[in-house]
Amino acid sequence: MKRLIILSLTLILFASCSVDNGVNYNLDILPIESVDMPDSFTLGETYPITVTYLKPSTCHTFKEFYYLKNNNERTVAVINYAYTDDNCTNLDNELVEATFNFIVTSNGSYIFKFWQGTDENDVDQYLTIEVPVTN
């Protein structure tokens, strides 16, 4: 009898919980307008790299960086939440900054490719910056 009551209470508890919190969003990858980074790196040091991008609406908020490593090449893009709220306001020229820390772990040069959108043929465009590592 106790097992039946515990099982019933457990089922009622799980049935009453909802995982839907009512917040709907999409993820948008936004083009990077400009980058602030050093002209050279020192092995073993950490550097902040700040990117600037246009925030399209009041419903966009920063989520994270898309960050792909391939040897000494780094591809970077900005990912935003785009909430599907009817109370959004479109923004004109609203520049936003986001920063990540970069740890220099190897010699040579690092090549950063910051995604700047696509051209008329849907080909990805990048701001490419090469940064040498000095001792």
Closest CA to 63 of 49, 78, 85: 78
Q: What is the pLDDT of residue 6?
A: 54
SS3 percent helix, strand, coil of the chain, rounded to 5, is 10, 55, 35
Q: What is the pLDDT of residue 20?
A: 53
Six-digit token pair at 60?
């966009």
Is residue 3 pLDDT above 70, yes or no? no
Is residue 91 pLDDT above 90, yes or no? no
Is residue 14 pLDDT above 90, yes or no? no
Domains and CATH numbers, the chain: 22-134 (2.60.40)
Q: What is the pLDDT of residue 21?
A: 59
**Predicted structure pTM score:** 0.79
Of 6 and 82, more confident: 82
